[in-house]
Structure 1
Amino acid sequence: MKVAFLQYDVVHNKEKNFDHIVSVLRQQRCELLVLPELSLCGYLFSNRKALAECAETVPAGISTQRMMILSKEYACTIVFGLAEKENGKFYNTAVVVSKGKYIGKYRKIHLSDFEKKLFERGTENLVFELDGIKIGVQICFDLWFPEVSREQLRMGADIFCVLANFGGETTYHISKIRAIENLTPLVLCNRIGEESLPDMDAKFLGKSTILDASGQSLCVAPERQKTTGCCEVSISKTRSNIICNNFDREIAFHY
């Protein structure tokens, strides 16, 4: 499967972010494209009122509709992040669209203390099936909790897609652990750039990566640089390594 990440400086301007995504897709074709967390609207909001001005419904909102059209035009699957609104509540959401169709959405379960001031916690762990391949979607801090990945594995995930906004290297290192301990490929897309509030500054690292099922890096983006990474990833329905020829059967064993 040809997978890609798009590492860029997400600004508080949907049109500029969308135009950049389009410009990259014109030059780089792939089957699966993963974008950063909150990839169309930016990360820091002073309050819920400011967040409400850019939040959208899913899938009826304009951003999801435009991404559906884009995925059809380039015959690919796109996993992107936005601020979702529903019944007066807001969610940090990843949306999956593929070849012109809306596939589904995943709401971030593990929120930072800052995010808890703005967003509601997601309550459902999900995988999404695309042409016989199941992808597990996570958002940044979710990756710190091994239960999320393992539950997605039990649901049949063949590859993990992680949308992120982080500044230090911890999440980058954890991504390798998740790939190794689940013998599952992983695409991590982090953003770059800086955002500020009167009492908070955020500087985003980049260093997006594509990992194979052994945790080896197939592609790593440089720190704090706008770039795209793209490579072929082997998807296997049978997980095994040198010491275990049926990993799925082993994790299903209960003490």
Structure 2
Amino acid sequence: MTNSPTEKIKIACLQFEPHFGDITGNLTRSIAMIEKAADAGASVIILPELANSGYVFRSRSEAFSLSELIPDGPSSRAWAEVAARRRIYLVAGMAERESNRLYNSAVIIGPSGIIGTYRKLHLWGDENLWFEAGNLGVPVFATPFGRLGVAICYDSWFPEVFRLAAVQGADLVCVPTNWVPIPGQAEGQKPMANILHMAAAHSNSIIIACADRVGIERGQPFLGHSLIVSHTGWPVAGPASGDKEEILCGEVDLSAARKDRNWNSFNHPLRDRRTDVYAEHLGAELAVQRELRHCNREQ
């Protein structure tokens, strides 16, 4: 990948409450929030996991009926239209259908159209009944402002995901998510999800932006607390509230994320890895091979 980060950008995480099964209504509301975020100067906008459909399916047939093709489904087309018109980049969660297989996916869209797809690697709870585990690895997408990776919700509990994105050159990882309460959290403590993403941003010197949903759906509460974390591990925006729809905006410097990996005269968190003890790519060989095949096709 040849793109390198060149300037500060404003990121927006859209924290809202999808209404289950109302794809048309959810698209309308998400686009209204996208327009507001773009008006505020955001050039990268992240929506929650399964933002167009809702999350709590009761059967595979219900999940299948609310799934769509990428890039030809109505949600991809609607989001691509607003991305082109406002000259922005979007990362949005949705149920993806490929033949008879379903994936909990995120579509990555730029001003010129669909850039790519990320499929959730680690399925949570009943997701295992409806979805296949992701089969696209941890792709990193080159953009004019830098290199962008994606993770979805439970993926973030696996530090390998952020490390694989970082060693492949990611400057920013976007996280569409539907966080749920974790047992044992005391009143007033930060959600575990916030702590995990702050740690991952720090230990990899990458920027992480998390867009969570709010509300209660079919009895399942969601946490909110969307967050944008700098490469230092400290928040630049948020956490958002636990129960309100919000547009969370933060300005980040992607070039600093790369330069500041030199923590001192001796230490660099990616260079200091002991690849004589563990594999350099931690199982990313398939992703690397796919990227090489893609580059060979373009040549």
The two structures have a TM-score, normalised by structure 1, of 0.94
Contact 2:106/2:118 (8 A) holds in 1: yes
Which is worse superposed, 178-187 or 166-175? Answer: 166-175
Give the whole-Å Cα distance in 1 for the aligned partners of 2:133 and 2:97: 13
Q: Does 1:62 find its partner at 2:74?
A: yes
Q: Secondary structure at 2:253's aligned position in 1?
A: coil
**Counterpart position of 2:103:** 91
1:252 offset after TM fit, Å?
A: 7.0
Q: 2:25 aligns with which of 16, 28, 40?
A: 16
The verdict on how the C-alpha distance between 1:73 and 1:182 changes in structure 2, with shifts beyond 3 A counting, is: same
Contact 1:70/1:100 (8 A) holds in 2: no
Summarize deviations over 1:45-75 as a string: whole Å, max 9, x none: 1101111111011111111111111101111
Q: Return the letter of the residue paired with 2:176.
A: L
1:133 offset after TM fit, Å?
A: 0.9
1:107 offset after TM fit, Å?
A: 0.4
Contact 1:108/1:122 (8 A) holds in 2: yes
More strand by share: 1
Summarize deviations over 1:130-164 as a string: whole Å, max 9, x none: 11511110000000001111011111100111111
Contact 2:93/2:104 (8 A) holds in 1: yes
Give the whole-Å Cα distance in 1 for the aligned partners of 2:132 and 2:56: 16
Contact 2:34/2:45 (8 A) holds in 1: no
Q: Which runs of 5+ in 1 are unaligned?
A: none
Q: Percentage identity across aligned positions?
A: 30
Q: Secondary structure at 2:194's aligned position in 1?
A: helix
Summarize deviations over 1:182-225 as a string: whole Å, max 9, x none: 111110111001111xxxx3101100000101111111111111
The verdict on how the C-alpha distance between 1:202 and 1:242 changes in structure 2, with shifts beyond 3 A counting, is: farther
1:243 offset after TM fit, Å?
A: 6.3
RMSD (Å) for aligned C-alpha atoms: 1.5
Equivalence map 1:57-136=2 (5 Å): 57-123=69-135, 124-136=137-149
Q: Does 1:192 find its partner at 2:200?
A: no
**Counterpart position of 1:222:** 241
**Bigger radius of gyration among the two:** 2
Give the whole-Å Cα distance in 2 for the aligned partners of 1:252 and 1:133: 27
Give the whole-Å Cα distance in 1 for the aligned partners of 2:263 and 2:194: 23
1:245 offset after TM fit, Å?
A: 5.6
Contact 1:183/1:240 (8 A) holds in 2: no
Q: Does 1:232 find its partner at 2:251?
A: yes
Q: Return the letter of the residue paired with 2:206.
A: T
1:254 offset after TM fit, Å?
A: 3.3
Q: Secondary structure at 2:151's aligned position in 1?
A: strand
**Counterpart position of 1:149:** 162
The verdict on how the C-alpha distance between 1:130 and 1:252 changes in structure 2, with shifts beyond 3 A counting, is: farther
Q: Secondary structure at 1:233's aligned position in 2?
A: strand
1:172 offset after TM fit, Å?
A: 2.1
Q: 2:43 aligns with which of 11, 20, 31?
A: 31
Q: Which runs of 5+ in 2 are unaligned?
A: 1-8, 182-190, 278-299
Aligned length: 251
